Amino acid sequence: MTKILPVASGKGGVGKSIFVANLGVALAARGKTVILIDLDLGGSNLHTCLGIKNRYSGLGSFIYKKEESLEALLVETEIERLYFIHGDSLLPGTANLPFFMKQKIIRGIGRLMADYIILDLSAGSTYNIIDFFLLSFSGILITIPETTAILNLYSFLKTTLYRLLHRSFPARSEERRIIHNFIGNRIENSDLSFANLITNISSFNQESGALAKKQISAFFPGVVINMAQSDQDLAIGRDLRNISRKNMGCELEYIGFIPREEGIYRSIIERLPFFILEPDSRFSQSIDLIARKLISTLQISTPRLPIDNDDLAELSNTIF
């Protein structure tokens, strides 16, 4: 079964594209067929991280019907089993993508066959980005260990959960109205948590409350801390997890710490992902660890198990 892995971040420039390119290489090296899609429309640069020239048709050709399927846009990379689909600088940025274009891309992605389809998304919390992120309940959120990036990640999560609940109920339903009122009130009363929202929905209809709860517990994103420099970065991860659990009832799984690697720029100059350039570096090892973790644990149907901070500690032991 194809696993879709959207990669998002609240803040820009935290390393999504570098991560997507190198994770793709690592998964392909472990025998998986991988398609990387540059969905950072308007800001597409994933090809640079892979060392591919920008001379192939991108998503625009599919949207504007020059190509019938996304499959026709697949570019073979120099790495066996790794394929790539270009974004498009002619398309409006992701934030302004009209609804029909978004739906067309989503349907196109659903028809692709591979072990993994990894989506490099734009930074930010607009609904289009969030809808791409919600193509999976186990997308990957990437951040750097800096307060602003963590706060943006937190906002991204919050907006994603609201969007998830909103989309779980029909248009013009009372449940949607309750959710919208709640968002409005939250601004004035920041202590309200998602538990209160679920209580509000349950008081209207118990089954709907149960559905809202189920959706939030099924949502289980993985978090990657990039450019980590020390063990202290663990504390940041721990705080984010605690606050997300407390305020939103949402569990996060830490799937990786990637150290800051000063040599990354060389991979752009030499047009080769760093994973290939320096396979024994700590950077490449941490990417490989994530690939192995994804292969062994990411089962879309796996029930969510309660976890503590064991995953954080384990990663730190491996990397530092």
Ligand X SMILES: Nc1ncnc2c1ncn2[C@@H]1O[C@H](COP(=O)(O)OP(=O)(O)OP(=O)(O)O)[C@@H](O)[C@H]1O
Which residues contact ligand X by CB under 6 A? 9, 12-18, 40, 43, 123, 226-227, 258, 260-261, 264-265, 283
- Closer CB to ligand X, residue 209 or residue 222? 222
Give the interface size with Mg ion as a residue count (CB under 5 A).
2
Q: What share of the chain is helix, strand, coil (3-state, %, to 5)?
A: 50, 15, 35
Site map for Mg ion, 10-39, x if CB under 5 A?
------xx----------------------
Q: How far, in Å, CA of 3 to CA of 159, rounded?
A: 23
Helices 147-168, 233-248: crossing angle, 10 deg rounding = 30
Q: How far, in Å, CA of 239 to CA of 242, rounded?
A: 5
Q: Pick from ligand X, Mg ion, none: which does 226 bind, CB < 5 to 8 A by kind?
A: ligand X
In the complex, the smallest distance separating the C-beta of residue 289 from ligand X, rounded to whole angstroms, is 14
Q: How far, in Å, CA of 231 to CA of 222, rounded?
A: 19
- Closer CB to Mg ion, residue 13 or residue 263? 13
Q: Pick from Mg ion, ligand X, none: which does 252 bind, CB < 5 to 8 A by kind?
A: none
Q: Pick from ligand X, Mg ion, none: which does 18 bind, CB < 5 to 8 A by kind?
A: ligand X
In the complex, the smallest distance separating the C-beta of residue 257 from ligand X, rounded to whole angstroms, is 10
Q: Is 142:222 a contact under the CB 8 Å cutoff? A: no
In the complex, the smallest distance separating the C-beta of residue 226 from ligand X, rounded to whole angstroms, is 5
Q: How far, in Å, CA of 222 to CA of 3, rounded?
A: 14
In the complex, the smallest distance separating the C-beta of residue 170 from ligand X, rounded to whole angstroms, is 34
Q: Pick from Mg ion, ligand X, none: which does 13 bind, CB < 5 to 8 A by kind?
A: ligand X
Residue at 248: amino acid letter: M
Residues 6+ apart with CB under 8 A from 149: 9, 10, 11, 14, 143
Residues of this chain that bind Mg ion (CB under 5 A)? 16-17
